[in-house]
Structure 1
């Protein structure tokens, strides 16, 4: 799984991406409410909606949800390259407290801090993403 541009996906591909993302969030041990918060779904999204996402319903196609999906895919890809010989290490890393995140877990950073937290975790894991964003902001400062 590499860079995904969710706006260019067919409905079948969106359903498959939704299934994969739900599987990832489940493997990270996220509660239903954490999943709703992380994905920026409507606050009163019922648990049965999450069950449908695991089966045959794609996530809502909004800019906010799509941006979060793209970052989650980037995080998963970075975890895969960080731990190439043990895929379960990525899920463990997401649940470990980290000094760089004020002794919070990466999952807590992402849920509590929203899109900023998600981007912070991605930048921490993916030096190419971090470098690209740093170079863009540096060039805009000129």
Structure 2
């Protein structure tokens, strides 16, 4: 994501903030989920809604990428029902031992983001297993 222009990065920042606020995440959960640098305090998150871009940090970029793919997968699952996109992440799910996907993402960190994305997007899970590389050799 380092190749993004400042305008693209700020647009991405607003998109992710809107997504996380749509999921009703509090500031402390947003900090945990994105693993923003320790210098950024919960009270300062509002600046990312309007004026500043998220830091260009490899760890933050990876998490932003996961969140964008999760958002896209939810659009595929619920193309005509935006309310269900927000509701799905908040409801207990058998796949995650009756935990809500948002809890999995916040509590389990990057592995939680990967678990949720793998559940929603089979192509991501396929790529993660290495099956894609093996399939091409057949």
Shared fold, TM over 0.5 = yes
Give RMSD over aligned pairs: 1.6
Distance 1:42 1:137 in 2: 34
Distance 2:37 2:106 in 1: 14
TM-score by length of 1: 0.88
2:124 maps to which of 117, 124, 129: 129
Instruction: Describe the SS at the equivalent of 1:133.
Output: helix
> CA offsets per residue over residues 53-82 of structure 1, 9 Å max, x none?
001101111110000000000000000000
* 1:112 and 2:107 aligned: yes
Runs of 4+ in 1 over 3 A off after TM superposition: 136-139
Structure 2 gap segments, 5+ residues each: none
Structure 1 gap segments, 5+ residues each: 1-5
* 1:66 and 2:84 aligned: no
Q: 1:120 to 1:57 in 2, by over 3 A?
A: same
Count of residues paired in the alignment: 134
* 1:87 and 2:77 aligned: no
